Amino acid sequence: MNAPVLSPGKPTASLDVERLRADFPILANVHPHGKPLAYLDNGASSQMPQRVIDRLVRYQTHEHANIHRGVHTLSERATAAYEEARHRVQGFLNALSDREIVFTSNVTDAINLVAHGFGRAFIGEGDEIIITHLEHHANIVPWQMLCEEKGAKLRVVPIDDTGTVLMDEYEKLFTPRTKFVSVTHVSNALGTVNPVDEMVRISHAHGVPIMIDGAQAVQHMPVDVQALDCDFYAFTGHKLYGPTGIGVLYGKAEWLERMKPFRGGGDMILSVTFEKTTYNVIPFKFEAGTPPIAQAIALGEAAEYVRGIGLEAIAAHEQALLAYATERVAALPGVRIYGTARHKAAVLSFYLGEVHPHDVGTLLNEDGVAVRTGHHCAQPVMQRFRIPGTVRASFAFYNTFEEADALVDSLRRIQKLFA
């Protein structure tokens, strides 16, 4: 499940990157400041291949109607396509059943669903929830809100200077009061790949269910929720080459059955009177109101597309690219790299001497290089390293070694400006 160990690499022949790039029209269509676009902000959002864009257009031109209700042709088509998308996502994660796949609006929404649906039902005063120091705000704030409401406590697993979770400390945090664990699979700020297999094993050894935030994982490595045996797994569509507005929550059927719905409304009920409402079966119990139908269908297409390329091949290319870019950026004078864990995925976070990350990002854009700067919605990670933020280059399988070179060339230019 973990990505291969980082090793200084040379260009790999594992993927025909040039051919795959042709699938992404935006990569050729946009020229910031007249320069070729080097899109290295995939950790924030990835681009959509033509096939996914086409699927959206086909839906809107031939299939659109509301789902699960109509008896007419379009509603039947839309319902079939939406449920087919669920089936594709089930296959993508290797979940046991379609019933275990809930469509949400993003990963944030999926985590909030569990914080409400599970937390409200099973967590009480004095109980404890474990997260790590690496979490995105999306996997901190919903648990804090729950703790505040219930009088429960948040326990945080510390990290070391490389950005690696301290597994001894993790294990020590379990007490009889521990009721839930929620950890990221891959850190969006540092790229650390957490040993989630081991984290699940330890959590289950203490009889505690565990959720994994896979927002930075599913696009970089194969994920099999049955092999992993996690209780919940969530990801977001727009980082998996799909559209915004769609996310996925995988949950073991036994938990989803026992959980309370997050939102009430249409489609999540079997019957309603003013006295009593009977909830629909899973997963519909958690999909109140008209869902993002087009986005779900497009996400299903994106998942098929990625499966077709192969996540092993994607991981091999991205690991080589990450190693190459890391080596070249680290060789620049005065650079500090944040996130030097043994297992990393596709994220290179750094500080360029004394130049503020925001200035670096703005100047990189002048050379066509798109990166993210700031705290990356992970302020506790920044606090741990006593920095306001970093420059983050984050890679996708369509990125090339030439783009890593463009990043380094531009950083050199910036260093001269500030010399």
Ligand X SMILES: *Cc1c(COP(=O)(O)O)cnc(C)c1O
Residues that bind ligand X (CB under 6 A): 106-108, 136, 138-139, 184, 188, 213, 215-216, 236
CB of 405 to ligand X, least distance (A): 26
Distance CA 155, CA 169 (A): 11
CB-wise, 106 or 410, nearer to ligand X?
Answer: 106
Looking at the Cβ atoms of 184 and 319, the one nearer to ligand X is 184
Which backbone phi and psi does 390 adopt, to 5 degrees? Answer: -135, 170
| Cβ-based nearer residue to ligand X, 213 or 287 | 213
Q: Which is nearer to ligand X, 106 or 340 (CB)?
A: 106
In single-letter form, the type of residue at position 293 comes to I
Which tokens in the block code for residue 287? 């999909």
Measured in Å, how far apart are the chain's first and last C-alpha atoms?
A: 44
**Least Å distance between CB 236 and ligand X?**
3
Strand pairing category for 247-251 and 210-213? unpaired
Least distance in angstroms from the C-beta of 301 to ligand X: 18
DSSP-assigned beta bridge partners for residue 306: none
Min. distance of Cβ 195 from ligand X in angstroms?
16
Identify which of residues 47 and 184 has a Cβ nearer to ligand X in the complex: 184
Quote the least distance from Cβ 392 to ligand X, whole Å: 11
CB of residue 102 to ligand X, shortest distance in Å? 14
Q: How far is the CB of 309 from ligand X (least distance, A)?
A: 21
Q: Which residues contact 391 (CB under 8 A, 6 or more apart)?
A: 349, 350, 351, 352, 357, 360, 361, 364, 371, 372, 373
Pair of tokens at residue 133: 């120091």
Map tokens 């944040």 to a residue.
Answer: 338
State the residue for tokens 């099973």. Answer: 122
Q: Which residues are catalytic?
A: 377
- Say how far apart CA 140 and CA 133 lie, in whole Å: 9
Nearest to 142 by CA among 223, 67, 60, 213: 213
Query: How many angstroms separate the Cα of 135 from the Cα of each of 50, 254, 278, 334, 369?
Result: 32, 26, 36, 28, 27
Q: Provide the 10 A C-beta neighbour count for residue 145.
A: 14
Q: Which residues contact 131 (CB under 8 A, 6 or more apart)?
A: 139, 140, 143, 154, 155, 156, 157, 181, 182, 183
Extract the runs of DSSP E, i.e. beta strands, from 54-177.
Answer: 101-104, 128-132, 153-157
Q: Which is nearer to ligand X, 363 or 377 (CB)?
A: 377
Cβ(280)–Cβ(267) below 8 Å: yes
132 vs 280, which CB is nearer to ligand X?
Answer: 132
Answer for the pair 376, 390: CB distance below 8 angstroms, yes or no: yes
